[in-house]
Structures are given as structure tokens and as C-alpha cells.
Amino acid sequence: MPLSVRPFFYYIKFMKKFPDIIPVFPLSGVIYFPKTNLPLNIFEQRYLNLVNDAYDKDKLMGMVQSRKENNSVYKIGCLGKISDYQKSKDGRVLVNLTGVTRFQILEEVFNKKLYREFKVDYKRFVEDNDNLEVNVDTSTLMHKAKSFFKRNGLLLNWREFEKLDLTQQINTLAMIAPVTNEEKQKLLESISLENKVKSLESIIGFYLFDTNINNNTIQ
């Protein structure tokens, strides 16, 4: 359902599902998406505190890509739910995060904790929690993705992959594709699934074209 035709109560119901202030784990080079899974090996004390507090509360925590300058972070990240939690004998915590919805950071909430918290907003990403069937043609993207993965020596069980729903398929490709962090961040920030498909198809197409040019030059 397009954003413009959703009734106002739909936004209110959606917004109340998730907390306004969330603990956030900033991590460079780690970008994950709704309906995907992210295993984490936690050993730093500040993030042990974060994960333990989140697990004891509502099991929700945010992941966002950090920037190199001024301890800053990107504005768009993904809220995840701790779906698996294990403590190791050496004090580490192993968790699995399942992506729930993207969020936009509004401001940092300063606290006396070792980890950071942010006030966030979810309304740009209402589509992340839609269960509506989306009709998007992905045939060209899938053809390019299979060629791209093969050229990069990446193995993917395509038979199992095709059992996923469309959103899971696209988000999985966006998460594991060997492209730059900036390109993955662009994909994360794509509002609709259709836009994400177009962007991913364009990015992969560029790499395939560049590879063909280089191969022809060598020959």
C-alpha cells in the first residue's frame, strides 16, 4: 500500500510498536536489513552491557554504520530483535539479531551508560512491516546477481534462497553482495522495495560492466 494512501491510524499503530529511544551499536562496515539475520560476537564491556540490558528489557537494539569522522554515525540504521542469546565461558556473548525495521536517527540521548542511545523515528519505513504481497519484477536482477556472485567466487544455495519471500530475497542480496559500504548504505536507505531492486540492479550491473571492460582490455 503506497505511503500516501495509508490512513493516519496506520502510522499511529506502527509507531507504537517500537520504542522511541533505543540502544544502538555503531559498527563500521556492518549493514543489515529487515528480515535478515546478523550473528554478533560481543566482547567489549560497553556492548556487553548494551546487549544484556536489551535482552533483559525487550530484546530490541539498533545497528547503524559508524563514520570515520567525529565519532558520528549514519542517520539510517536497522532495529533488530535478539533471537538467540548465549554466554560463553570466557565472558563473551553470542547473539543473533533478526532485522525488524529500519529507523531514522533524530538525535542522540546522552546518558551515563557505557553505550549510546538515540531517539529514532520509523515512519519513513512503514513498508518494512507490511505483510502485503509486493509485485516487483526481479528477473533481470536475479540473472545479474547469479553472474556477479559466480564471478566473485561466492556460493549461494539458490534453491533455498528462492524459498524466501521477495523482501527477504532482496534484503539478503543487498546484505551479502560484495559491494562497497557506501553502496550498501544507499540500498538500506531506499524507501520502497521497488527502489531497492532498481538500485541493486544498477550497482551489480556496473560491476559486471566494469569486469567485462577489464577482461576485454587484458585480451
> What is the pLDDT, as a whole number, of residue 76?
97
pLDDT of residue 4 exceeding 70, the answer is no
Give the pLDDT band of residue 210 (cuts 50, 70, 90): low
Classify residue 194 by burial, with Cβ atoms within 10 Å: 0-12, 13-18, 19+. middle
> What is the pLDDT, as a whole number, of residue 216?
46
CA 57-59-61 angle, to 5 degrees, is 105
CA–chain centroid gap for 67, Å, is 16
> What is the pLDDT, as a whole number, of residue 211?
58
State pTM to two decimals.
0.86
pLDDT tens-place string over residues 96-106 = 999 999 999 99
Q: What is the mean pLDDT of residues 112-123?
A: 96
Give the pLDDT band of residue 217 (cuts 50, 70, 90): very low
pLDDT tens-place string over residues 22-63 = 999 999 888 999 999 999 999 999 999 999 999 999 999 999
Give the pLDDT band of residue 131 (cuts 50, 70, 90): low
